[in-house]
Every structure is written in C-alpha cells, then in structure tokens.
Structure 1
Amino acid sequence: MNIKKILFVLAAVLLVLPSLLVTASTNDGKSTEAATKKDGKVSSKDEVVYATFNANGNTQNIYVVNTLDVSQAGQVADYGNYSNLKNLTDDSELKQSGKKVNVAAPEGKFYYQGNLDNQQLPWNFSISYYLDGKEIAPKELTGKNGHVEVRIKTSANEAGNTAFFENYLLQISLTLDSEVYSKIKTEEGTIANAGKNKQVTFTVMPEKEGEFKVEADVVDFELNGIEITGVPSNMSIDEPDVDEMTGDMKSLTGAIADLNNGVSKLNNNVASFEKGASELKSGSAQYKNGLAGLSGSSSELVNGSNEMKQALKKMSNSIDGEEEIDLSKLGEMTKGLSQISGGLRETAKGLTTLKDNYTKAYSALDQAMNDIPSNDISEEDIEKLYNSGADEKTIKQLVDTYTAARKATGTYNEVKQAFDSVGGTLEGVVTSLQDMADNIDTMAAKVSSSIESLDVSEGIAQLQEGLTALSNNYNTFHSGLLEYTNGVSQLSGSYQDIHNGIGGLADGAEKLEDGVGELHTGTSKLHESTKDLPKQMTKEIDEMMSEYDKSDFEAVSFVSAKNKNVNSVQFVLKTESIKHEEPESKEKPTKKETGFWARLKDLFT
C-alpha cells in the first residue's frame, strides 16, 4: 500500500470512527434499554424466500430473510416454523418458543434469517437434460459435446400455499456462456445479450403451468445455476382503447348484415328464376312434342299433296285426249283441298298456342335473369371475407353461388339472341301456314264454282285450260310444301339440342336455388352470431384483463398465517451449477476477519 493510500485510510478512520462510536454507544444504550423494558410495534413486514435446488429441480434448502419495520422499539413477536435462527441486524439473541420468535428490536429495520426444513414451496419444478436426443443425468453431461436440450416444467404444488401460485408470476433465467453454447434456440422464451453471455428468460403467468425448452450446440458442457424469481403480479393493467377495434367490428357486422340482406334478395330472385326456367322447360317440351308430331304428319301431308298433283295432271291429260271425264272426281278434289286447308289451320293453331306458352315462359326467365344482381366482387373482397373470422363453409357456399350466378347470367346473355328469335320464327311459320290454308281454300272455292257453272258441251276447252293452270300452279305449291316439311323435320331434329340445353338450365336453376337457400341459411346464422360482436369482444377483453389483473391481491406471509401487516413476499430460487468438480484443497482455509475493521479494510483493498 503506498503512502497516499495509507493517509487516505487514516483520514477516513479519523472521520468515521467518532461518529461510529457515538452512534454505537447511543444505539446500544438507548435502544437496547428501551427494547428490553417495553413492548414494541411492527408497522409492516417483508419476507424474501430463498431456496436452492439440485440440477433436476428438487428442493434442497429453504430459508427466509425477514425484515421487520419497527415503528416503536421494544419486544416484538414474529412467527414461523424455523429450525434455526440468525440475527442479521445486531448481536442480540433471538428467542424461539415453538413457532413464535421473540425479538428485542430497536426502532427501524430489523433483519433476521430463519431456516425451514419442512416448508413446501407453492410450485413444483422439474428439469431434465438431453444430449443428442437422449435423456442424460446432469452429472454425466459435464464436459460433453453435442446438441443439448434443457427442458423445464412448472406446476402447482397442492401441498403449498396456493395463494402464491394464483397471484404470482415466475421468471426463469438461464445464463449461457457464448464460448460454450452456440446456435441457441427457444420458442417459448426470449434471448438477450448479457455481456459475453446469452440470457434466456421464460415467464409463467399466475394460475398457469409452464413447459419450456432451450436447445443449443455445446462444447465442454457446463451450466450456471438456473435462477427463478417469484414476484406478485399486482401491477394494475390499464384497459386498452378498443374504440377503433369495435368500430372496425361494427363495420364488419354491418357488412355481414348487408351481405345477409343481399343474399335474401338473391334467394328470392333465384326462386323466380328457377320458376321461370321450370316453366320454360315445360313449354319447350310441348313445343318439341308439337314439332315431332308436325314432322311425323308431314309425310302424310306430302303424300296427299302428291296424289292431288297426280290427279290434276291426269284430269288435264284426260281432257286433252278427249277421254270421258268423270266429274265426280272434281268434287273429291275440292274435298281433299278442304282437308289440307283444315290440317294446315290446326297446325297453325297448335303453333300459336306453343308460341304463346313460349313467350310467357321466356318472359319469366328473362325477368328472373335480370333480377340477379350484377355486383362485381373482387378477389380482394373475398379474401377480406375469409379473414373476417366468419364460417369458412358458409363463405365457400357464398362464393360458389356467386360464381354459378355469374356463369348463368353470362350463358343466358350469350343465348338470349337465339331465344329472342324463336318467337318471331314461330310467328312467321304460323303466318305462312295460314296463308297456305287461305290459298288452298281459295283454290277449292274456285274449283267448286267452276264445277257448278260448268257447261260440258261448251266449256270443255275452258275447263281444260283451267285444269292445266291449276295443275301447273299446284306443282309450285307442292314444291313449297316439300320445302316446308323438310324445314319442319330439320327444326324438329335440331330443337332436341335446344330443349336439352333448356332442361340443363332448369336443372341448374333448381340446384342454384337450393344452394342459395343454404347460403341464406348460413348468412342468417352468421349475421345472428356476429351482430353483437363488438359487445362480445369488449366482454372478452374485460374478462382477459380481470384474469391477469392481480392488483387487488393482499400479501400473505409464506411462513405463518399469524404474521400480520405483511407488505411483500418474494421468492429467489436457484438450482446448483453443473460444473467440473474441483479437487478439494488440503490447505486449511484462512479464517476471514469479521467486524467493523475488516469491513472498513475491504472498502479500500
């Protein structure tokens, strides 16, 4: 020690020693005297519980450092089932009677330690170690290399005081030397730098059990003791401002309500669409059957017309050859023309009925298709709906129905022009048939009139001329009739595809109605379950906050329920370190000096 340091120590001694002597004599005299003559008062008490574990988490030793805040010097009592006591304040003796500790305490803070043999901690701890995937004893792990896992479990100790388990949080810390550990990983905790070391920390909330794991690559394994602290979770937690969140939830519930209303309208429109499609299918079936019947009778109509053409030709040739003329055949001809005219009119009547039914069904279909909303829903909107937390099955039904509806309207718009032309085509066919019937009626009337006014002796030439003209004109009519029957046959054959398409449309409309009905049921349930979502969310937050807000917890003593005015209780726990065992030294350890002078000397060395 150099001269300056010696002078500094002597100066400090000269400055401190008088006050220490005065204070010591004053305290030892007045306080001890006061403490032995009257009862003292303790305004509050603090307890710090220290415990050591072996490397696997089994308890080895427990002791408590008690701090009594003595507001009035004198005899005070404290309680605890201690196996050994140590005064940490002064040299006065502590007296123990059963679970009662008697102290002659001066005013101020009084510290003493009590060791516990049979006390139970509020928590159970289990610590296990794994090397390269296989469990290994801590002592066998010392000095090993490889991939190490440390697994820690905490649970409630039913034999301990559950008030601490319910209201205290645990913080578990491992300090890992960076020269020994690398590639440190954990999912449940946090990793922070602590000088050249890494500190891994886990937290266990009140009323919760914990299960944690930290893993790393290790060289020459060693581990400092795992530190565990238990402190009251008595901080008051401010309730978060949920106005913005509830506002968003209200927007969501409003959107779901609008969605439900829209699906309800869609359901009604699809029902109308399905009804119109069903009526169209029925009318199309009638139209198809009528075409088939008309096509089937075309051969009879052509054969009759062909016979009529041959008869006219024969009559014309007979008169030209001055053969005997059977005028009764002319009467049969007028009768046949009238029958042809009647058949054409019946056909025209059937097609008129078909046209009316088709027009009605098509009008209903067109109205239903136009009632389907044309809203465009983007992929982004659909993604938001999936992320809203709504039932995914219901959302999928909604999206599928929306897609089917869009496809149906697209298909309908593509074939609408063909549907529009059917009515006009039927109207044209009916008009042509009626014109043909009128022409045949006119032809029959003229033939009948000619027969009645016929003068055989004088009108043979005139009759021959008329029959020749009739025969020639009838050839033109017969050619037109062939074209008509061929057209009817082609229409009957090709309309089957149209009818199949209409049938598919009707079946699809029925399935669409069922799907939209299920969708409406789903959106109704979704709306019902989410309409109070803001209130439900606020309630859940309140319950969560109350679960972790332990600010109303009043401290209780760890060592005895008889101790009152307990201010705080803390737990400081630690496992033994896993290190290479050092050989015991044969030299006797030097006895460390104690007392004021030793403490003063330590300050300057």
Structure 2
Amino acid sequence: MLMRKKRFMIVVLALMLILPAFLVDANQSTSTSVEKVVAEKAEGELASKDEVVYANLHANGELHEIYVVNILEVIKAGTILDYGKYSSVTNLTDLSEIEQVDGTVLIDAPEGKYYYQGNMKESGQLPWDIKVSYLLDGTVLSPEELAGKDGHVEINIFTSANENADRVFFENYLLQVSLTLDPDIFRNIETNDGMTVNVGKNKQITFSVMPDRDAKLIIQADAVDFELQGIEIAAIPMSMSIDTPDIDEMTEDMKTLTSAIKELNEGVGKLNDGVTELNDGVTSLRNGSKQYQDGMTSISDASGELVDASDAINEALATISHSLTNSEGMDLTELKNLPGGLSQIANGLNETANGLSTLRENYTVVYQTLDSAIMAIPQYQITEQDIHGLYQSGANKVVVDQLVETYTAALTARATYSAVKEGFDAVHVTLQKVSGAINEMGGSLTSIANGLSSSLENMDDENSFAQLQEGLETLAINYREFHAGLVSYTGGVGQLSNSYNELHAGIIELSGGTAELEDGVGELYDGTNELYDATKDLPDQMQEEIDSMIAEYDRSDFEAVSFVSSENEKINSVQFVIKTESIKKVELETSKIEVVEEKGFWARLVQLFSRG
C-alpha cells in the first residue's frame, strides 16, 4: 500500500511539471500555426472592408442570432487575415475553405471583392436594447397569444443603449424602424411620430431615431385576425455633413424686428413721460376744480341771503320813496343807515368778484397744463394689420396686449378731451363774465351809497329834501332793476354750481383714468424694455442656436470601426440589418398518408442518380 502511494505521488509531481509546459506549447503552437500558414502562402493586401451585420430577433425584441457578411476589397491576391469571434464561417465567394484559428480568420483571397459570412457566438451583443410589447384592448399579451385575435392593438417599440456593447454605434448611428401593415388586417392606424406611406396595397410606417437617443415608438390600430410581418430595423452611420444654412436674410429680418422693437420701446418711453405729465396736469386740474367747486357752492349757498338782503333793501327803498312822496317833515335818522348797508353789500360783491378772478387765473393755469399734456399724446395711425403683424412677430403676447390696450386708452382720452374741450373753454369765459358783472354791480352799489350819503349830509332845506325825494325815487326804480338782475345772477350761479358738480365728477373720473393709464403705460414700458433686452441680441442668438443644433447632429468626423473586432483595420462602412420574427397564426395541418409505390431495382437506381 505504501509503495502505491509513493508511485501515485511521483505521477502527480510529473504531471505538475509536464502540464504547464504542455499548455505553453499549445498556445505557442496556435500562434505558430497562424504565422506558419501566413509564411507558407503569399501575403495578400486589403484596400478596405465593409461589414453588414444581420440580426434576427424574436417577436418581443429578444436577440436570437447575429451573423456578419464581411466584404473585403482585395487589391493583391494572397492570404488575408481578418478578425472576429465566430462560431462558424462560410465562404460566399467560391468553394475554397476558410480557416479560423482562435479569433483569426485566414482567407486565401483572389483579387477583387471577397465575401464571407461569420456566425457570431451566443455571447454576441447588439449596440441597442430593443424591446417590443403588444397590447390588445389595453391588456398586455405575448406575440403568441395575440396571433389571430381581434380588437384595438397597440405596439410599443423601445430602443435604448446596450450598456454591454460599444457605445460608438449607439452614439453615431441613425435607426430606421419600419413596419408593414396589411389593410385587410389593420384599420384606423395611428402613430406618434411615424411617417406612413403606401407600398403596394400595404401601409408602411417608418420611424427615425436620432443617434444617442432613446426612443418609444407607438403604433395603434384596430385589428381583425391579427398577424404581423417582421419589424425591420436598419442602422446606418449618420456621417453626412450638415451645411450651415444661409440665414442672412432671416437675420436681416430679425435685425429689422429688433430695430422696430427698439423704436417701439423709445416711443412707449415718450408716451410714458407724456402720460405722467398728463396725469400730473389732470391731478392739478382736479385740485383746482375742487377749489372752484367749493367756491361756487359757497356763492350759491350765499345767494339766498344776498337776494333776501337785496329784497329787503328794495322794499325799504320803495317804502322810503313812497313815504317821502306822501309825507312831510319825516325823521330821516333811519335813512342815514342805508348808505352803510349798501356799502357792505358792495364790498361783499367786490370780494366775490376778486375770488372769482383768482379762481379764473388758477383754472387757466391748470387748464393750460391739461391741454399741453393731452395734446402731447401722439396720434399714430396704427392699423389692425400692423397690430396683427406685431402679434405674429413673436413678441410677448401679454406685453402686446398691454400696448394695444394703452394705445386705445390714449386715443380715447384724447378724443374725450376734444369732445369736452368747449366746456372747459366755456368755464373760463363764464368766470370772466360773472366776475365782471359782480364787479360792475359792486361798483354801482358803491356809487349809490356814496351819492345817498352825500345827499343826506347836504340836505338842509326844502330844495334839498325835494332833491332827496326825487333821488330816492330814482334809486328805488333803479334798484328794482338791479334786484331783478341780482335774482337772475344768483339763479345763474345756482345753475352753474349744479352743472359744475357734474363737470367736476367727470374731472375726478378723468383723473382716476389718467392715473390708471399712467400705471398701465409704466408697466408697458417695463415690458417693452424687457422685450428689447431679450431681442436685441436675437440675430446672434439665432446663429449660435443653429450652430449648436448642427454640432449636435453633425457626425461628419465619424470614422467607421469594426463591429466584430477592434483588430480589424481599413473599415469602410458598417451597417446593421435587424428584423424580428413575424407573428403568424398556427395553422392546423391535415396529415396526408402517402401511398408508396413499390419500385424495382432499376427504378430506384435511376432515382438515386437523378437526385445528384
């Protein structure tokens, strides 16, 4: 037993010593065999290589198999080395054998185009993860379950980057996804972004997925007896150069728009200044109008007392005149107080006249300020077409709405002022006439009081008394006329006071309107300022945006690389042709029993050779 253990240990040690050397020799022999084959044959020369990658997918998008058709442009006949981990290779050019050793394909290729197919191992990966799901009336079904069904069908195709594959193809290749739908099966076809065209009797829907983009593609339709041809996906490099478009004309238009916005902003700025002056003027007018209204109200309120006092004087003069005519030796002591009363009335009228003169002067100043502010509002003739063009220019709609509203309000304010301007002018003239009339009445009463006072002082005989009697009679007659004029005047003052209350209410409303107008124009000016700041660099911003978009999709500098092996050089192009399996109904086949006719030896011999 001990001897057996020793022999076993010796054998194990021998194997440990021999095996590494054997493995090294195996690897060296593989490398040597490739070099030996190349050395034994004439070396060929390759100009370029194209790869067409074919992938078959299951109906749900899962990978089934990948095989690559390699197209070699041989410019010198001889042995060509190509690289790729294939499970098997097939010569598509002639009947010669292709040798494959550990990821190296050795080809004895003639000059010209040489084609061979390599079937990739199960570990092969596409650059894209492709998933397809099917819904029938909102319920997810497998492709097998959906076949032959009726109802509303939704097909969702998802594409994204395969993190286990080289991203160079995902980042630089454009996907074109196509579905062919039989109109006998599908009705009311809808897609999210697909383009639908007629191909024979069928409808073909094509989607484009840009490089470096995930996508969800949706097709909806009403289906009867559902079947679907395989979904075809082509992947090609988006290597075309995108020329920068000529946008000079567009930028010139944008510059024109920017200039117009600048002028608009400056115009709104001037309008804002004018409206501010207008509002200040209207505010002063409102304050002056309030003072005038208060004065007219006071005068109107005092008119009753003035008329009563004048009526008393009128009756007193009539009584005195009548008494002097019919009496002799009457006491004139009470009569001497009459000039003082007339002087007081005259002084009151003079003060009223002076107050009205001051009010007229203030009113004139305020009115001139209002008139200047209103006349400063520009009368631009902006048509509906101009306003529509401003809306279509891309300007901020809220700002344009405010501009149009302000423009309309400004024209309304100017038109309203023009309509009531005659009323303002009439107030000025009325104040001037009323002030003059009151001054005249005050002067007349002062003259009468002075004359009466002088007459009373000089009355010392019968002649003087007779003159006094005659003078008082004349005074009584004239005062009756004065009293009638005073009553008419106070009636006019009352009417003017009532009318001016309405005018003052209108001025207050106008003041409120101009205040709102000032706020609105201020907001509008802020908006046009913001609009101008946002658009003044618009032409340059457009060019930068276009350059950025072109740079995002321009793949003109992309250089093709091999899909199957990074060792392959001189790659001209790599294309992908991907297709899912079709969804077909399972047909029940009727088994047929074939009757085999018994044949003789010679008949079987002829049949054998005919197959060859």
**Bin for the TM-score computed over the shorter chain:** 0.7 to 0.9
What code does the residue aligned with 2:225 have?
D
Partner deviation per Cα, 1:343-365 (whole Å, 9 max, x = no partner): 11111111111111111111111
Q: Distance in 2 between matches of 1:214 and 1:587?
A: 45
CA distance in 2: counterparts of 1:510 and 1:326, whole angstroms: 68
CA distance in 2, matches of 1:243, 1:36: 65
The residue aligned with 2:579 is 574
Of 70, 75, 78, the match for 1:66: 70
Partner of 1:249: 254
Counterpart position of 1:140: 145
Counterpart-to-counterpart distance in 2, 1:193 and 1:313: 117
Q: How big is each residue's C-alpha offset from its partner over 1:535-573, in whole Å with a ceiling of 9 and x where there is no partner?
A: 211221122122222111100111122211111000000
| 1:521 counterpart = 2:521 | no
Aligned to 2:478: 473
Matches of 1:203 and 1:369 in 2, distance apart?
62
Q: Secondary structure at the match of 1:241?
A: coil
Q: Which residue of 1 aligns with 2:79?
A: 75
Cα distance in 2 for residues equivalent to 1:583 and 1:443? 137
Structure 1 CA distance for aligned equivalents of residues 471 and 140 of structure 2: 122
Corresponding letter in the other structure for 1:71:
I
Per-residue deviation, residues 4-50 of structure 1 (Å, max 9, x unmatched): xxxxxxxxxxxxxxxxxxxxxxxxxxxxx999523222221111111
| Residue in structure 2 matching 1:56, options 60, 64, 67 | 60
Q: Which residue of 1 aligns with 2:555?
A: 550
- Please name the residue that 1:172 is paired with: 177
* Structure 1 contact 167–553 (Cα < 8 Å) conserved: yes
| Corresponding position of 2:288 | 283
Structure 2 segments unaligned to the other structure (5+ residues):
1-36, 595-612
Kindly state the Cα deviation for residue 530 of structure 1 after the two structures are TM-superposed.
Answer: 0.7
Relative to structure 1, is the Cα distance of residues 406 and 587 closer, same or farther in structure 2, using a 3 angstrom cutoff?
Answer: farther
Distance in 2 (CA, whole Å) between partners of 1:490 and 1:433 is 16
Quick one: distance in 1 between partners of 2:70 and 2:317?
Answer: 138
Is the CA contact 1:36–1:75 (under 8 Å) kept in the aligned structure 2? no
SS in structure 1 of the partner of residue 86 of structure 2: coil
- 8 A Cα contact 1:36 1:104, kept in partner: no
Write the distance in 2 (CA, Å) between the matches of 1:587 and 1:209.
54
Hey, what does 2:454 align to over in structure 1? Answer: 449
Report the alpha carbon displacement of residue 578 of structure 1 after superposing the two structures with TM. 0.5
Contact 2:130 2:157 in 1 (8 A): yes
Matched with 1:483 is 488
1:357 corresponding residue in structure 2: 362
The residue matched to 1:83 in structure 2 has which SS? strand
* Residue of structure 2 equivalent to 1:112: 116
Q: How does 1:286-297 map to 2 (within 5 A)?
A: 286-297=291-302
Q: Which residue of 2 aligns with 1:88?
A: 92
Pairing partner for 1:46 from 50, 67, 76 = 50
Among candidates 399, 403, 407, match of residue 404 of structure 2: 399
Deviations 1:60-101 (A, max 9, x none): 111111122222233332222222222223333333333332
Q: Is the 8 A contact 2:458 2:464 kept in 1?
A: no
Structure 2 CA distance, aligned partners of 1:582 and 1:467?
140
Q: Counterparts of 1:122 and 1:142 in 2: how far apart (Å)?
A: 29
Find the aligned partners of 2:592 and 2:229 in 1 and give their Cα distance: 26
TM-score (norm 2): 0.87
For 1:480-511, what per-residue CA distance to the aligned partner results, in whole angstroms no more than 9, with x for missing partners?
Answer: 11221222222223322211111111121111
Shift of 1:577: 0.3
Deviates more, 1:402-411 or 1:459-468: 459-468
Whether 2:122 is the aligned partner of 1:121: answer no
How big is the shift at 1:323?
Answer: 5.3
Give how far 1:330 is off: 3.2
Partner secondary structure for residue 70 of structure 2:
strand
Contact 1:35/1:105 (8 A) holds in 2:
no
1:555 is paired with a residue of what secondary structure?
A: coil
1:338 counterpart residue number: 343
Q: Which amino acid aligns with 1:115?
A: N
Following the alignment from structure 2 to structure 1, what is the Cα–Cα distance between the partners of residues 146 and 547? 48
Whether contact under 8 Å (1:385, 1:395) holds in the other structure is yes
Contact 2:45 2:78 in 1 (8 A): yes
Which amino acid letter does the alignment assign opposite residue 114 of structure 1?
G
Letter in 1 for 2:190: K
Give the whole-Å Cα distance in 2 for the aligned partners of 1:180 and 1:137: 18
CA contact (8 A) 2:134 2:156 kept: yes
CA-atom RMSD in angstroms: 2.1
Separation of aligned partners in 1, 2:174 and 2:269: 52
Counterpart of 2:242 (choices 219, 237, 241) is 237
SS of the residue 2:90 aligns to = strand
Q: d(CA) in 2 for partners of 1:518 and 1:505?
A: 20
Q: Deviations over 1:380-404 (max 9, x none)?
A: 2222222222112211211111121
Matches of 2:429 and 2:279, distance apart in 1: 25
Question: What are the ranges of 5 or more consecutive residues in structure 1 without an aligned counterpart?
Answer: 1-32, 589-605
Rounded Cα–Cα distance in structure 2 between residues aligned with 1:582 and 1:64: 33
In structure 2, what is the equivalent of residue 203 of structure 1?
A: 208
Does 62-71 or 315-324 show the bigger shift?
315-324
Q: Counterpart in 2 of 1:100? A: 104
Residue aligning to 2:228: 223
For residue 308 of structure 1, the aligned residue among 307, 313, 332 is 313
> Which residue of the partner structure matches residue 5 of structure 2?
none
Residue equivalent to 1:153? 158
Question: SS of 2:560's equivalent?
Answer: coil
Shift of 1:473: 1.5
Q: Distance in 2 between matches of 1:326 and 1:562?
A: 149
- 2:584 is aligned with what amino acid? K
Equivalent-residue separation in structure 1 for 2:334 and 2:129 (angstroms): 123
Aligned identity (percent) is 53
Q: What amino acid is the match of 1:401?
A: T
TM-score normalised by length of structure 1: 0.88
Which consecutive segments of 4 or more residues in structure 1 shift more than 6 A? 584-588
Cα distance in 1 for partners of 2:410, 2:213 equals 52
